Each structure stands twice: as C-alpha cells, then as structure tokens.
Amino acid sequence: MTGRLAFVESPVQLLNVLEWAHARGRGPVPAAAPAPTPPTGADRAPGPDAARALAPVPGPGTGSASASGPGTASTASAPEPARGRGAVPAASDDLAIVVLSPSDPMSRGQLRRMAQLARDEGFDVHWQEARAGRGALVRTLRELGGPLRAAERVIVGDPFSRYVQLLLTLFGPRHVTVVDDGTATMEFAAQLAGGERLVRWHRKGDLGPRELLLAPVTSLARRRLAPGPHRTVEIFTSLPVQAPPGTEVTENAYAWTRSRFGPPALTGGADLVGTSLVETGVVDAEHYLRVVGQLARTHGATRYFAHRRETPEKLHRIAVETGLQVVRPELPLELIARRGPVGATIVSFPSTVVHTLPLALAGTGVKVAVCEIAPEWLRATASPRAQGFLAGVVGTASGADRLTPRGGSAADRLEFG
C-alpha cells in the first residue's frame, strides 16, 4: 500500500503540502482532460483507484470577509470547492488532499483558491465540511476511516489540532509527515523532543474542563507523532527546529513556489505584514496600532497585508488611523509576494513569513525586516512563554533584518538593530 493522504485546515498547510510533494519529486501524473463539472456543483466522479465514495455533505455557504473603511481592499469571491461526492484515493500512488474546512470565512476563502491551485497541479482534493453543525464529527470520522486505514503515509499540517489528534488516535499511520503551519512547528518539535504535553505557545496551558476531557486524546496523539520501532516521522519545514532523535527533518525551500510564480515586479516602496498577535491575546491592541503607524511612517509603507484572523474592527482602525491600504490576501503571502507586485522592503512582526519570505523571494532583491516585540507591548494575560518564543522566532530568522524598538515606549523610533 503506497497511498498518501494529507489533511489540511489552513491555506498555508495546503501550500506546504504542495511544496512537500514537489520536494519529494513524486507529484501525480497529470490527469486526462477533466470531465465537465456537474451542474449540481459536486466533485468529479470517483476514479478507478478510489478507496470509497464519500456521501454528500451539506454545509453553509461562505463569503470572503473584508475590512470596511477608507483605504481597505477586499478580496474577490470564488466558487466554493465541490463537496461530498468526490472520492479519497487512499490506495493510490497519487497524493490525496482532504480539506477539513474551518469555520471562519477568510480561511475558507483562501482555502478555496489554494484547493483550485492544487487541482490545477493534478492532485485530488476533497472538501470535507468537518465543522458543519451537529453530527459533522461522526460523519467525518465515518467517511475518512477507510482511506486513513489504507494510507501508507499521512501528512498533517497542525499537530495541535484536536481534529488531527483524534484522527491520529483512532487510525495510527505507519508514516507521518508534519508540514509547517506557522511558527507552531517550532513549538511542536521542542515539545515532542522534551516529552511535553502539546500546547500552543500562546496559551497558558491550564487544564480547563475541555482540556481535561481531551487529555487522553492529546497524550495518545503525541505518541503517534513520535518516531518509534513501527513508525517514522518527518518534519518538513523552513523553520529551525529541535526535533527528537529518529525524526527526519527535511528543508522546505519553497522550490515549488519559485518554480511556478514570479519573479515579482517591485514597487520601490514598503509593505507591512499584519499579525494576529492581538487576536490571540498576546499583544495589546493600542501598542500594536501605534507601532503599525510608526513603521508605516518610517519606511514609507503604503499597504498592510492582513492576517486572515485579524478582525474587521482592528483593520478598519489601521486603515483610518494610518492611511494604509489594508489588503486581504486571497492566497498565502508567499504566493502573493512571489507573484507581485511587491514592495522593495517587507516589514513584519514575528511570524513564519520572516523565515519563509526570504526563501520564496530569493534572488528578487526584496529585503525582509522583522520588528521585535518589546516586553511592554504584551498583555498581562499573555502566556509566560510568549516573550521567549517570539524572541526565538526573531533571533533565528537569518534571512531578515532586525528592527529593534529603542527606548521604553511603543511610540519610540524603530531602528535596525
């Protein structure tokens, strides 16, 4: 059995699954001319290698959220990927991709477009409404159980996801690959190496009622994500990780992105990259807004690329108070920047892009800079690990220049340090 089955829940995860397949040199053979799309919007009919057909899954329609107000650019809409009546070819030599659809409109919109890119590359993509109301969990487990049991290798993007943990617990694969889903990969590798409980870095780690209920699942999933006598584990990443012994670490150099897109035209100005540090309760909103304005003035930035989890209210304030054009990217920023046009300088707060953009934009002349997070910007309720983790993201970003706040005020001038 040589089937490969990927589970993705975010646009970046899907991008990195495509990068993994490209790096392995084992992408699928281009399919023959596709059959006409059924008028009902269903997926293409199951191929001869399909393990089983999936029942139709109803789900709510989605739209693309955008901030409102001056200087705000909204994303274009795109048709929802077909759902339900496709097949997951778990027993095929091809890579099958299952999208465990999230709930928020921005993630769904980006995933729609990434799913189409993957289909254009010849991959089978199945859209699973894994969170579509009551009964969705049981239905998803029932429909994916067969392909999971048949798959030789399972590729996941978020080892902290309760959905992924449950799937790994019920159907322990023999070979596991973890691809990047933001900076969480660094924390996952460190916790796995230290034998720690899997907890996202921005959470305090307190065991509430829900965490206590799911603790056995998390514990078993952690063991299923660790290499052993009957299991291999690969981490495919562009980030510096401290993996446990026996784990294969493969570099993600964004070769697929560079081979498919660009090089971009440069605008000569600067672009700012947003973050969800306010939304995750790490950074104080007022500090963040002041620093965004300072960075825009210092670097002559005109555009602000919003993170898909940033709230419309915050983005509206950024547009009004700084005059920046707020852009909701339709695809992961690595693809947007590579396609261009893009600023000659890209300034970001600590996030994955300070590691990935220098790779995706190699040879283009674009300079990437990262703004450090001063301790006084953190909220009192932020996780005790937040400052150290964010400092590690900045300190290991060898391809980015560093912007260090001078002095103790968030409004102080920011200089290269």
Directed axis angle between helix 184-193 and helix 386-395, to 10°?
110
Query: Mean pLDDT lowest for which of 75-79, 268-272, 370-374, 384-388?
Result: 75-79
pLDDT at 100 > cutoff 50: yes
**Statement: the pTM of the whole predicted model exceeds 0.85:** no
DSSP 3-state assignment of 293?
helix
Highest mean pLDDT among 162-166, 171-175, 179-183, 275-279: 275-279
Angle, alpha carbons 26-114-154 (nearest 5°): 45
Residue 254 has a CB neighbour count (10 Å cut-off) of 24
CA distance 185 to 221: 16
Task: Give the angle 48-49-51 at the CA atoms, nearest 5°.
Answer: 115
What percentage of the chain has pLDDT greater than the value 90? 44
Q: How far apart are CA 284 and CA 377, in angstroms?
A: 6
d(CA 284, CA 263): 37
pLDDT tens-digit profile of 337-357? 999 999 999 999 999 899 999
The single-letter DSSP state of residue 68 is: -
Angle between helices 386-395 and 353-360 (to 10 degrees): 20
Q: Tens digits of per-residue pLDDT, 193-211?
A: 777 776 665 455 555 565 5
Query: How many C-beta atoms lie closer than 10 Å to residue 68's C-beta?
Result: 13
**pLDDT tens digit sequence for 308-337:** 889 999 999 999 999 999 999 999 999 999
pLDDT, mean over the chain: 78
| Secondary structure (3-state) at 76 | coil
202 or 213: which carries more pLDDT confidence? 213
Q: Between 250 and 180, where is the model more confident?
A: 250
